[in-house]
Structure 1
């Protein structure tokens, strides 16, 4: 058998993998060679037939923000069981002070499944409490940072459905010296040759280069992936949406994040006992009450309490002090209302893409902070068909062709519509609400023209466009997602 020739660096690697498979990560650490460099050298060894290669696809599992929260505080169902263990029996109303609305629903659902509690006649009673496998897994991942598995067991699948873990596929490559190389090294039937990494002009002129053992180029070897800087994928999507709206003849407008409840709710004909105004759904701001235009206050009061310009009010005692309280803006409709209030009957096409805040329990389709794309069209000849055409055309320009509409209800529009777009994983998701502003509200603002309004759930629209099934990924810090996400 002829002698096999190795470069020094090749021998260094092969000598480490004579008898067993080792991962590239292990070799990189043992030999103190950068992973990207080692990857390139291994491709060389593969092309020469010096190594056997085995690849394994693993699931890399880490906690989401919600998963981290539950690992630290305990799963909602366990916290519920601990509360009931002490109190024995409690009503739903009593438990609301311990949880947000969504979190309480989650706690009850999973506590019932696990047999921690039982529910009867509006009362919840403690039954049992034990450490569950999903809780153990949550703590294990928290302690290790991430774990690698070939497949997800049933508990991990449940944690993934609950949005508590994220799972990414990870390819691990193992190499081992081929039989030919192993036999040659054991029998010492090899020679180590110097490797010339640089040829000078003198070498070429003199012809010395012909005697050098030059490394052959492998044109089929793939280089390691290099990730260049790029825009954050969701911000890029929002820029594209702005571009589409500007092309459709709209102008951009925005306003403050902190508003009096008057502008966030009352002007929009939302009664002061509406559930959306509850502290469970809205962030109140601990600042002094706002100073408001007394003339506007009087008109809003009349609109809510009784007949105003031939429109029927809610027939209750409206409180100006509540209207002066400050909240974090829960939607962008106040921006449109402010524009109408300042510009009255001026024909206009205006939009706003900005952040809003609600006390939602984060899950796959809800987050406490979200973007909304709000807009209005003001004109005497506008009708409901114009609104439907706009929503369909807008979605179409973003490449979303599967759209459907159904009648809906909003306190400040009539008629109203809810448009849905089709998501490959989640099915139909509501993302295109709109309607015509009610005359009660427009009369109060001193506007006689018709106003078409829409408040697109731009986060959900982005989910459909980007093909993701968890709204939290839009704000993800996961580099794998940010590097591979679809760009416009």
Structure 2
């Protein structure tokens, strides 16, 4: 037992005449804190010299609302006294406690309701929750209900009892050296050489040190930073824009018909705001109604400017692309946007009402569909996905269109967005003649695959253990 620290030895010497003691008494005897005593005791327990017993006691306290109900009775009990054998529901609903009490009367089965009349079911003895409310103690059957109703609060107290073992007592009886130890060398000890005669504390290299948690970027934030860095290195500039967009930019300027299902309330968050259509909107109107001066025949019907002026939370980042093109109008353009978009989705492991989307555009005189596939393959390769393939797709604002897929071990081929060449119906109203390559990728789904997750919601949770344990993600240089 030569590796015992001075603190362990002192603990055993203090504990030997007592046999066992609480941390409070031992802390007083050793002149230290109870937390330190627990630490010393666990070290002794690892050597079989002591036993550490932990007990947890839960105590309960009434909230102000709980104290009121303890004196006057739970809302359902107070209302039951007004029912008699029966009472019209309208009379019960006039009671000040009706909002709470009626629901509990029905839940507990104390009344039945027929034809608008509440009828008492007979004698109703005090329930477990009413008994517990008078003097709540751990283990009482009504405690859980009182906690759910916020009528009591719970607090836990932990106590530690330390016992010396036969091996520990034998060690004390044999005698322990309580000479002070040197745990940290000072500059003076090193210069003077006095460290050579100091009683140095022994260290075990087999004992892992206390783990230190450095600050670091959230894993999802790291993926977003990596995406941004890759595209900047590929020669793209970053576009930024408002979350709130007019339907004109979110839908109409992208040749999405005004009766398209995606524009309905079940897919889009509409706001009680409106934004006038920009100068040149007439060209978009003509494209929709009859194709304007292009070879298109448009969608037909009447295009409604009032519908285009409605504001929405952007459903994709493509409005930033078309607005950037309209502001630039001349090649070359290489730009991307990485931002949050909003859709009315039911929340499940693969869908959220808000998520990040990556948008990219390339406009130049000689770019082709083949160049688009090359950009996407290069990007995915930089993100660690070497196997990439493309399936034909359809989008109102691109033609030809594809849906890129990457191969993931255990999942197979996973679709990650859409891409294509902007149709002339999108570019012609603004006098843009050069071809425009465009893509919109679900970056949150890509991040899921890269981080090895199966639930999209994990990306947005403040799960400190996951953040601590997850390795820093970065590309190999």
The TM tier, using the shorter chain, reads: 0.5 to 0.7
1:285 is paired with a residue whose SS is strand
Alignment of 1:37-436 (within 5 A): 38=39, 42=42, 46=46, 50=49, 181=167, 184=170, 191=176, 193-197=178-182, 210=197, 214-287=200-273, 289-293=274-278, 295-296=280-281, 298-308=282-292, 309-424=294-409, 426-436=411-421
* Structure 1 stretches of at least 4 aligned residues deviating more than 3 Å after TM superposition: 2-16, 41-46, 48-53, 140-143, 175-180, 187-192, 197-210, 422-428
2:337 is paired with a residue whose SS is strand
Q: CA deviation at 1:486?
A: 3.0
1:286 is paired with a residue whose SS is strand
Report Cα offsets for 1:442-481 as digits up to 9, x if no partner: 2122211111101121111111222222222222211111
Please, which runs of 5 or more residues in structure 2 have no aligned partner?
21-32, 53-143, 151-160
Please, which runs of 5 or more residues in structure 1 have no aligned partner?
20-30, 54-136, 144-174
2:433 is paired with a residue whose SS is coil
8 Å CA contact retained: 2:8, 2:44: no
Whole-Å Cα distance in 2 between the matches of residues 359 and 334 of structure 1? 18
Structure number with bigger Rg:
2
Whole-Å Cα distance in 2 between the matches of residues 142 and 482 of structure 1? 34
2:258 is paired with a residue whose SS is coil
TM-score between the two structures when normalised by the length of structure 2: 0.65
Report Cα offsets for 1:209-229 as digits up to 9, x if no partner: 85x764311122110110111
8 Å CA contact retained: 1:258, 1:329: yes
- Aligned with 1:441 (options 406, 426, 439): 426
Q: 1:249 to 1:4 in 2, by over 3 A?
A: closer
Q: 1:462 to 1:142 in 2, by over 3 A?
A: farther
1:455 is paired with a residue whose SS is strand
Q: CA deviation at 1:206?
A: 11
Whole-Å Cα distance in 2 between the matches of residues 374 and 13 of structure 1? 67
Whole-Å Cα distance in 2 between the matches of residues 223 and 479 of structure 1? 21
> Which has the higher relative contact order, 1 or 2, with Cα contacts under 8 A spaced 6 or more apart?
1
Q: CA deviation at 1:6?
A: 7.5
2:272 is paired with a residue whose SS is coil
Q: Over the residues paired in the alignment, what is the CA RMSD in angstroms?
A: 4.2
Q: CA deviation at 1:335?
A: 0.7
Whole-Å Cα distance in 2 between the matches of residues 450 and 325 of structure 1? 30
Whole-Å Cα distance in 1 between the matches of residues 378 and 228 of structure 2? 14
- Aligned with 2:35 (options 29, 33, 36): 33
Q: CA deviation at 1:286?
A: 1.6
